[in-house]
Amino acid sequence: MSYIISRDQYVSGFMMMILTGWAKAVVFVFAISATFLIVVLAGVIPAPFRRLWAKFQTLGGFLLAGFVLSRTDLAQGFFRATGLD
């Protein structure tokens, strides 16, 4: 069975995801990564700190991914919000 979803259903599902706690954490991690990338491209941070920050981001990314994957209710909430359940 195939589903046809409207743009409004998709946007409302996306907004429901944004309102959940884990989505805020994902947005926060991406915002910090983007800020760091801009600072690095500007050449402000010396190389040793860049390597340390890269290790910290990798660890944080794995922890965040593990948390999201361990929560089975997150996917169900997204599909329910988009009307795909």
Query: What's the confidence (pLDDT) of residue 1?
Result: 43
The residue ranges of every structural domain in the chain are 7-82
Please state, rounded to an integer, the average pLDDT across all residues of the chain.
67
Residue 74, pLDDT > 70, answer no
Residue 55, pLDDT > 70, answer yes
Residue 54, pLDDT > 70, answer yes
Residue 58, pLDDT > 60, answer yes
Chain Cα centroid distance, residue 12 = 17
